[in-house]
């Protein structure tokens, strides 16, 4: 049975207080995930069953989430399949805000599909989304382009 080791520092009622990182948020998250992975291994979880999730939105502000997405290759280099759950998250609503405020949750699907394709291209094993069909189509498009690049002229 797969076991997801997700980065988080506190429950939702307190997590924003824990959104403090050094200059390298990706390194901090990798180090904390590494500790959690070691705990899972000691508890008897088989290494081949472990997945890691950077925990976008959990004890993280928008700049932390963007840095983690930009550094997904470093998370992939941990050697465990990476799960990314960015679907409809608050940082997307903030990015897409207009004069009325943050983009409503039900209007964040295009941004979710964009992140999902970038995550897949960076080597993520899985993305957690709400609109599976749209995300599936977007990832297939990126995979087709990647195949064409790999195939050459």
Question: 60, 88, 89, 103: which is the annotated catalytic residue?
Answer: 89
Spatial neighbors of 44 by CB under 8 A, at least 6 apart, are: none
Known catalytic residue: 128? yes
Known catalytic residue: 107? no
Tokens at residue 127, please? 């993305």
Question: 9, 74, 90, 128: which is the annotated catalytic residue?
Answer: 128
What are the residue numbers of the active site? Answer: 89, 128
């Amino acid at each position: 049975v797969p076991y997801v080791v997700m980065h988080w520092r506190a429950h939702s009622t307190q997590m924003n207080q824990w959104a403090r990182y050094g200059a390298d948020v990706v390194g901090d998250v990798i180090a904390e995930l590494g500790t959690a992975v070691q705990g899972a291994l000691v508890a008897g979880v088989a290494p081949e069953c472990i997945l890691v999730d950077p925990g976008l939105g959990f004890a993280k502000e928008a700049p932390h989430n963007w840095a983690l997405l930009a550094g997904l290759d470093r998370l992939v280099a941990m050697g465990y399949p990476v799960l990314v759950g960015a679907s409809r998250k608050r940082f997307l609503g903030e990015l897409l805000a207009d004069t009325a405020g943050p983009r409503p949750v039900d209007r964040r699907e295009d941004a979710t599909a964009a992140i999902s394709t970038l995550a897949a291209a960076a080597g993520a094993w899985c993305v957690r989304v709400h609109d599976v069909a749209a995300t599936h189509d977007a990832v297939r498009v990126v995979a087709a382009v990647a195949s064409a690049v790999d195939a050459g002229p």
